[in-house]
Structure 1
């Protein structure tokens, strides 16, 4: 081996990432992986420098959602890795392909509690599909090959690889290269699809429910064609509302937090549930009450890419281990279904949905439902909406009809702070599409500093901060459980418009509904020119939910005491 042929671990890692199709990496630099950063210089991978590792990991998750390929985040050891945990948890619960690369102490320093040393196998063991540490630079192609396959095969999810600092700078003879990963795919058996067809044909009140990871536009188009041909009602699991065009006559609503009571009743009353890709978790099942474990009242056909998930919580009448793409293709091979038996049922469910998304007034001069409905009528069909967690999201989820695949970026894990970093990633991936991030005042302060990242890279996102001066969701629960006893939920906020201006963004304060429309037009013009923008919306604290004010929640709790 000559010095000319030898390569550092960092160079081998950068090459392996490129072989597997990595275009962008999000990260916060650290001395523990300087050799990898150096190897990126002049290469094909764009490194986007973030302002906090949690934001970088959330950007990687958003990238994975948007592309179907693993989003890559790079962080340093110790506090860098712990900061990134929130994004890894999102990717795990959302079934998003992601790879987190973590700098690690040198190999001869391990097990001494060296500076910022952490055992990442223990730390991330319950948050990732696979956690490993690369001790030998010659095995980098092997580890990266496994990482990309693990992140994308079966139930997609995050992989964490720790990178000892000296391993990255070590020079070794280049090992044999590997080909680009190809996700492994499980397909349904003909017998299972025949059984599914027989059960559906005999149903009277069927309901399909879509969710989970692993989808793409083509597979969802196949599902839509099948549903519309059979007049089959289809609902979306929690924060998966863009899986079926909400304008389709078969789309009947969002089975998640703030569910339409009429739809909740239909889930309970269905004689057959066809669940494809969704785990049927706590948020989708309203705390396991819409579909009760272990033996649901409804006949359950559960299609999922991971055998270990099937019959783990729910005893399915028919469990099908299948990748959602393969299942969607198999639907096209089924004989046509006669949907006349449930046509009226589907039509009534659709009418319930359309009534549910009509705007409702709330206390105060700023009406979120009217604003969201106006956005739905104004934005182009390919606009991407991102949000984190909080009561402000209930207006978006209820009143905005999603019209295309991956126009919604929202964490099913309920992680605050997701909206702004997700929007940054979305604009980096789709620079020609409008990208809007919604955030509450508490939510924005979690990762709002990534607005500086947007400004640095000329990514024209628009952030809409809905400010009610409190942690609204927690206050809602607090008033229900401990009415009038306010503790820990009030917020004294900065001037978000001034803060955004300090980051270099366009900004404006909006206190009334009619002020929003011209402010939005101006902000979008700035965003289209490559300058991020922020609108600071002041909403009445009484407007705690679309259907109940703060005082109404409190009074109901006091009356029940």
Structure 2
């Protein structure tokens, strides 16, 4: 987001032949886009914002990157160096502000330090458990001339590292073969080596779950797939993880949602984390270790996970239901399945509508999911814009509620300006559904959750996008088909039934159960 504290930096990036400058409509959009771009490409993107107000707006996406283990470099403009510490105009102590939500936060004390700080920040962001770093640069340092920092050279000890990796893989293979019921939880760090994870699962009889909002880490149609550990999880999945005697945690944190509010793993389960996503475990890149494990010579064995897989499959089958007050959310997900190409990119926002996506979306092996594990609303649209910019040959679809789209949907203008063919699928039920559900269940009434009957079709057209309104299930396929094949920014606004609050409950039913 352009700001007066780093004018020369914006100018230099815009004129650099190897860089793309993307100007956004809100700083949160910049951070969400940087998060999505890094996840899709494997290379950190740079998010830039200006001092106090700008850095405050940017923070939500930086917190997302921290909890999602996404590498990101954040460059923050700061007040002039001679004005620091005097509460100058828009001044914030950015090192203190960003410290808790980054791997490393620093303010440049001298102009000549900036190249070294950026190089060090890049290394920190991409090593171990990936994450964001923040570098604050006083505005008078931005104009300083600096010699180009030369870095490179081969890493020492590569042969020794490969030997150690092979030995580590051999030890893990023995532990897997000795286990009675080995289960793996696959997350972000497992995605780059999904084929190797499949090979290892087949060779050693590993049942595989995916961590929260990492549903693309393992193919759902594989007989060793045991389900997605989310806010709503089938009993068969929880029982399989509970019954594991060896739990291999691959490239993910054991966060609150994945562990079902820290009830998993069960006491007595041996836990082996791979990657620096937790304490202890195997300090190796998950993709490298999975590749070594898949290549490992030695005995193999198969385990029958069919009953668990069948139960998860049945739980995830969309119901054939109709409603009187709008389109059923499950019908929206089913139509998206029919219309999205197999190599599509799905970005999903936070909200109760996402429960239908998580439960009923069957991720093909070539589909990518980008979603915030910290539950940040407003993620999906900027993330899809970034995905459509980074991979224009693929179809990027943001699945979002009306609450989330009204937070960051202005980035549709960014997509129009860039020519990024993003599709925004809005499930519009006129409320903040998650909060309404909790209020109805706990209080027997709702308050502060209503969203007006916004005409999202006219709104989207005003931003320059194609737009399609859907009020009946029979209109879904045509609208989505036109949006997907149109190859231009498009919004499909679906009026969903506000009473269908989750896959297992209605709002009216919850309100009736609590005496007012």
What TM-score do the two structures reach when normalised by structure 2?
0.93
Assess if the C-alpha contact under 8 Å between 2:176 and 2:246 holds in 1.
yes
Q: In terms of mean alpha carbon deviation, does 395-404 or 365-374 score higher? A: 365-374
Instruction: Report how far residue 441 of structure 1 moved.
Output: 1.0
Change (3 A) 1:228 1:373: farther
Change (3 A) 1:89 1:176: closer
What corresponds to 1:438 in structure 2? 399
Change (3 A) 1:116 1:183: farther
Instruction: Report how far residue 470 of structure 1 moved.
Output: 1.0
Change (3 A) 1:73 1:399: same
Q: Does residue 447 of structure 1 match 2:447?
A: no
Distance in 1 of aligned mates of 2:144 and 2:206 = 59
- Report Cα offsets for 1:406-444 as digits up to 9, x if no partner: 610100111000000000000110011111101111111
Distance in 1 of aligned mates of 2:257 and 2:428 = 25
State the SS of the aligned residue for 1:64.
Answer: helix
Q: How does 1:419-498 map to 2 (within 5 A)?
A: 419-483=380-444, 485-498=445-458
What corresponds to 1:354 in structure 2? 313
Instruction: Identify which of 320, 330, 336 aligns with 1:375.
Output: 336
Instruction: Identify which of 351, 368, 385 aligns with 2:346.
Output: 385
Change (3 A) 1:181 1:80: farther
State the SS of the aligned residue for 2:67.
Answer: helix
Assess if the C-alpha contact under 8 Å between 1:149 and 1:184 holds in 2.
no
Q: Does residue 322 of structure 1 match 2:279?
A: no
Q: Does residue 118 of structure 1 match 2:92?
A: yes
- Report Cα offsets for 1:374-413 as digits up to 9, x if no partner: 3223322210011110011111111112224661010011
Distance in 2 of aligned mates of 1:337 and 1:142 = 49
What TM-score do the two structures reach when normalised by structure 1?
0.86
Instruction: Identify which of 50, 59, 62 aligns with 1:85.
Output: 59
Instruction: Report how far residue 193 of structure 1 moved.
Output: 4.0
What's the Cα RMSD here?
A: 2.3
Assess if the C-alpha contact under 8 Å between 1:138 and 1:175 holds in 2.
no
What corresponds to 1:15 in structure 2? none
State the SS of the aligned residue for 1:220.
Answer: helix
Q: Does residue 521 of structure 1 match 2:494?
A: no
Instruction: Identify which of 170, 186, 195 aligns with 1:210.
Output: 186
What corresponds to 2:245 in structure 1? 271
Q: In terms of mean alpha carbon deviation, does 83-92 or 276-285 score higher? A: 276-285
State the SS of the aligned residue for 2:63.
Answer: helix
Assess if the C-alpha contact under 8 Å between 1:33 and 1:165 holds in 2.
yes
Instruction: Report how far residue 337 of structure 1 moved.
Output: 4.9
Assess if the C-alpha contact under 8 Å between 1:244 and 1:405 holds in 2.
no
Q: How many residues align?
A: 510
Assess if the C-alpha contact under 8 Å between 1:437 and 1:463 holds in 2.
yes
What corresponds to 1:13 in structure 2? none
Instruction: Identify which of 81, 99, 108 aligns with 1:134.
Output: 108
Structure 2 unaligned blocks of 5 or more: none
What corresponds to 2:274 in structure 1? 303
Distance in 1 of aligned mates of 2:421 and 2:148 = 42
Assess if the C-alpha contact under 8 Å between 1:230 and 1:336 holds in 2.
no
Instruction: Identify which of 164, 173, 179 aligns with 2:152.
Output: 179
What corresponds to 1:10 in structure 2? none
Instruction: Report how far residue 192 of structure 1 moved.
Output: 4.8
Assess if the C-alpha contact under 8 Å between 2:328 and 2:497 holds in 1.
no
